[in-house]
A and B are shown apart, each in its own frame.
Chain A
Amino acid sequence: MAIVEFSNVTFRYHPEEEPILEDFSFSVERGEFVSIIGQSGCGKSTLFRLLTGLETPQKGEIRINGKPVQKGSHLSSLQPQKDLLFPWFTVWENVALPLSLQRIPKGKQRQAAEAVLAQVGLDPSLAEKYPSALSGGMRQRVAFARTLLDGAQVLLLDEPFSALDCLTRMDLQEWLRDNWLKLEKTILFITHDVEEALFLSQEVAVLQGKKPFSAALMRQVPLPKERSRAHLACEAVEREKLYLMDVLKGGAR
């Protein structure tokens, strides 16, 4: 059964504007890693705003795990476009933020935060530091740790690596895949980088053509679940990459 499901969703930000989605249907199976690509400004982040209940569609229904998404329904864990670490909290307080809102005792929060920091490969000595002391790559790991502690089965990652330098980025891509293989989470991953989408995910969803969208173009990635960067060089992937770039430019249909 699909874990994430948009059924005939129509959404616009302002009544007088052209809708971004019209009769939009889209679904993701449990445990999948799906990348969402599309031109900048086409409405990728808007999908996440709808999935987290920050926005409510004018028509249609969105379900996660069979439950309808509403304001404050908390069925998915969002990692927003910027890392958005709170500068006034230490690293561990940032990570434990979702727990602190569930009124869990401080000692337990701290334990859980340290465990998840270790899980994302950060030294426990960082726990007491302020975010300003961290590099961009470390900040992303902290943000991911916080997303994990939020605890939902569905993770929504909005261009988490786009602000990082190339080497850190490749490092974190591999790290994220390892985590996904271990964690049994469902991941929706927004990116504008076709190669990143192909390397990370099992399936790529393309928001393509003119607004309003009524569906995403779904493409299977021709790679096994266990993969390495070397796989990207094979011919099937190259062909898929060229095809996707073409679609993004609005050429092929």
Chain B
Amino acid sequence: MIDRIPSGFNPFVIPFLVGMGFVFAYCIYALVKILLQLSFEDRKKFFLSLVNPKTAAKNIRDMFCDCLFHVKLWKRNPLLGYMHSSIAFGWFMLIVLGHIEVILFVPTRINLFYYPIFFNFFVAEADQTMKGSLLFFMMDFFLLVVLSGIALAMVKRVRSRLFGMRRTARPSLVNTIGLYALWAIFPLRLLAETFTAHISGGSFLTGPANWIFRQFLGNDLHYLPTWWAYSIVLGIFMCVLPFSRYMHIPAEMLLIPMRNAGLKIRNARKGLTRVQVFTCPNCGVCIDACPMSVSKENIKDCTVYLTRQIRRGNEKRIAEISDKCLLCGKCEALCQVGVQGPEIRIQQRAIRDYSIRQDFSDIAVNEVRKSHVVYFSGCMSQLVPSVGRSVESVLKKAGVEVEWMDRDGGLCCGRPMLTAGKTEEARSLVAKNTEMILSSGADTLVVSCPICYRMFVENYALPGVRVVHYSVYFDELVKAGRLHLTKSDLCYVYHDPCELGRGCGIYDEPRRLVGQSAAIAESDRCRKESICCGGSLGSLSLTFRQREKITRAALENLYASKADAIATACPLCKATLSRFSDRPVRDIAEIIDLQSR
């Protein structure tokens, strides 16, 4: 292999160089800006995590698994996984192999960073070696891999159902330009390398293609324009990259270490929020995931449109999208890159100005009697009083002495306030409840409402108090032999409440309890993919009718299991589902109370 062009330069590389320089400058600028937007503590945490060997190893592993191999997409749909990983990994390998070629054959040119990209233009094949043919073979092979991915991407545009997706996001103009540029890059590369294959050498793809073309093309005049075209589409792609969804390629490389460093969303637009917004590739997985999308008018309120509108700075739409969401967390659970749709929305709600603000610091609260175990039933359990009564009765049967701190009404846990964006007000409720709970001297706080439970776990500091959801507590009582269950002949299907399942990761204990007191069936979409009951307090603006549609969709999913009755572990789910259900809906506490001795 010898250097063919003494100067090592041809003007056709200019479009590529311009695009590359622009992307580089933009990414450095964005990186510095985002790092400066982080709070001092977060920045410190981030940099420390980079030098911590354990997180560093995890970062590298995640980058390979998520950015190159798209492992999560493979699990979701193999075709979708192949499409993404073939393009990403294939392209990555083309770049790596290009560098290896330069290092091996023309090491003096390694400082020219367009060389690995346009290697075949600048070299001529002097002699055939094993090393060279192997490299050329691999280059052709990975080009074929990428081309197969591009072909699949074209099919997906028209037939997304083949890829397990019912609905995809509508591309915006700049995304369309980026998309067509990306589609054009690899066929043009194939053509360009084909046309020069008799000079630079080629393998199973470019070699025979070159022979075919040379049968009817008499001269070499066409190869330079093709290299120009290849360089121009590369340049166009890189120039639109920062403004299109393809920004996810560099952004994900920042998001992964930030996530592994344990950073949290703290600002409506800056820092981690900005990185997540950039990382969303508009894949549209969250549209099918979102329970709101049962109504066509709500499709534009899914997370993919939130990230798009934040990038555009369309305040009116951002507000609408932020208010409608149920905060059920399903889009976050299924998102391939980890965009935290609900958290970003809460931050948007938190930047609003209110002229009336709530304050609870001056209210007088009732004393809580001293007890080891305190039970907090929460507002929703008061609307569904049988839940509270059943919990108390079960605890009595198991011989647990318990003090029900809000039997005659109490304070809200503060989560509805927090998710509505009134952070200060929520803090003031938290302070009051904390004072009451600590005054009881309890070491265990049993909670029956998943909304409260999540709030206690995430936002309260209760030293020396174990906060436990009743399903976990009952499960322990059964295991310890303090509670004896008999089986009824009913068959229940368990509905995972959003806050308990996706919110707190409790999936197994409720199922075990139901399974020990009745037969249990599973619905199609359960656990991480369970559908919100539609009653969630997370949504501020969904109307009663829109909620009804969601509830009916959730019920259809549960009916499909052919169970006689529905079990759940949340008073709000119970109230919402029973409104439209054709079969009984019971809280697990009620079932256990019926089936225990």
Indicate whether A and B interact.
Answer: no
